Amino acid sequence: MFKGIMISRDDAIPYRVQLQDIGEDALPDGDVTVRVIYSTLNYKDALAITGKGPIVRRFPMVPGVDLVGSVEQSEDARYRVGDMVVLNGWGVGETHWGGLAQKARVKSDWLVPLSDTISPHRAMAIGTAGYTAMLCVMALQGHGVTPDKGSIVVTGAAGGVGSIAIALLARLGYQVEAVTGRMEESAFLRSLGATGILPRDEFAVPGKPLGKERWAGAIDVVGSQVLASVCAGMRYGGVVAACGLAGGMDFPATVAPFILRGVTLAGIDSVMCPYERRIAAWRGLAQHLDMAKLDQLTEDITLADALNLAPTLLQGKVRGRVVVDVNR
C-alpha cells in the first residue's frame, strides 16, 4: 500500500477528493514503476483538486503533472532499478495517474533522466513551470531575440512560470519587466532580476490595436486581454511566447501587431513536447538557472497540505513554486 491523493466520483458524490491508502495492484498500465520522492502543486493540479476545471478526464485519478523519483521496476532497457527520473506532462494527472502519490507506473517514453547536477528537490522546484519557462526562453532565442534587442516583459510574474522565467532571463543578460497583480511582491520580483514592475491593471483593459513599441520579447502565462495588450506593445519584429491561460482562453486582439510590426506569436506546449526538446530544456536549466534564486522562490508542503493549498493557488495568492514531499 502507498499513500496518494485520489479523485473519484460515483452516483452519490459526483466529485470526491481525498488522501488515502492505495494498493499497488491498482496502479495503471506502464512499463516503469517509480517510487516518487517529490511532486509539485501547479495551477492545473489545483484545478483538478478543487474540481474548478475539466482537468480530470478519467476516474479514479491521482492528480499531479510532475514527479521525480527512483525507478523501482522497469521493462525498458534505458532505465534500471535505482535510476533517478523526472516526468512532466504527457497527460499524467489528467488521463493517467500522476505524481501526487508515493508510487507511479508510467510509460518509459515519458521519462527524462535526472541530471547529476540537479537534486530531486530542485528538479521539482523547477517542475513543469520551470521547464515551461525554459521552453519559452528557448523560443525567444530561437527567433533571434538577444539581450541587445531590448527588454522582455513577463506576465504572471509572481507565479511559477513567471518567477523562474525572470530568474533565467536575468541570468542570461536580459532586461526584464515583470507584470503582476500583486504589487506587494515587487521586492521579491526585483530580487529575482526584474528591473521594472508593471501593474496588471495596465494590461487587463482593452486598448488600441497598436500601442507604443516597448518590448523585444514577451513570456505570457495569462492569455485573454493581457496577451492582447502585450502583443499591441511589442517592438517591430518582436516575439511573444504564449504558454498559459490563467486569465482565460479568449484572445481579444487584432492582426495589427502581426501584419504591421511583424510580431511573432509563438505557442509553447510543455505537455506533448518531444523528448529531444525536453532534454535541451533541462540542459538549459542546469546551465542557466541560478539555484540559489530557485531555492528562494520555493515552498515545501505535504500531500495533505496540497488539498488545502489548491484553492489559494487558484486565487493567485501563492508565490513561486510549491514542492510536495509525498512521503511526509
Give the CA count within 13 Å in the CB-facing half-sphere of 76. 17
Regarding whether 303 and 223 lie in a shared domain, the answer is no
Per-residue pLDDT, 11: 86
Regarding whether 256 and 178 lie in a shared domain, the answer is yes
Question: What is the C-alpha to C-alpha distance for residues 301 and 312, in angstroms, rounded to an integer?
Answer: 14
Is residue 280 domain-resident? no
Question: What is the C-alpha to C-alpha distance for residues 257 and 220, in angstroms, rounded to an integer?
Answer: 16
Regarding whether 157 and 257 lie in a shared domain, the answer is yes
pTM flag (> 0.75): yes
Per-residue pLDDT, 316: 86
The residues with which 35 forms a beta bridge, in sequence order, are 70, 103
Regarding whether 52 and 151 lie in a shared domain, the answer is no
Per-residue pLDDT, 134: 98
Regarding whether 148 and 59 lie in a shared domain, the answer is no
Q: Closest by alpha carbon to 97, among 48, 50, 61?
A: 61
Question: What is the C-alpha to C-alpha distance for residues 278 and 124, in angstroms, rounded to an integer?
Answer: 15
State how far the alpha carbon of 267 is from the alpha carbons of 110, 125, 239, in Å: 21, 23, 11
Regarding whether 65 and 10 lie in a shared domain, the answer is yes
Tens of pLDDT, residue by residue over 121-147, are 999 999 999 999 999 999 999 999 999
Which DSSP symbol is given to 208?
Answer: -
Positions of the chain with pLDDT under 50: none
Regarding whether 140 and 228 lie in a shared domain, the answer is yes
Domain that holds residue 107: 2-114+297-325
Regarding whether 140 and 94 lie in a shared domain, the answer is no
Q: Closest by alpha carbon to 176, among 200, 149, 152?
A: 152
Regarding whether 160 and 78 lie in a shared domain, the answer is no
Per-residue pLDDT, 285: 97
Query: What's 77's domain CATH number?
Result: 3.90.180.10
Regarding whether 211 and 169 lie in a shared domain, the answer is yes
Q: Which residues contact 18 (CB under 8 A, 6 or more apart)?
A: 5, 6
Is residue 180 domain-resident? yes
| Count of structural domains within the chain | 2
Regarding whether 250 and 222 lie in a shared domain, the answer is yes
Which of the listed residues 218, 251, 267 is the one where a domain comes to its end? 267
Is residue 292 domain-resident? no
Which residue's entry shows cell 513567471? 162
Question: What is the C-alpha to C-alpha distance for residues 109 and 92, in angstroms, rounded to an integer?
Answer: 13
Is residue 19 domain-resident? yes
Query: What's 172's domain CATH number?
Result: 3.40.50.720
Is residue 119 domain-resident? no
Regarding whether 201 and 223 lie in a shared domain, the answer is yes
Instruction: For residue 67, give the C-alpha cell.
Output: 514527479
Is residue 220 domain-resident? yes
Is residue 90 domain-resident? yes
Which of the listed residues 267, 288, 305 is the one where a domain comes to its end? 267
Is residue 284 domain-resident? no
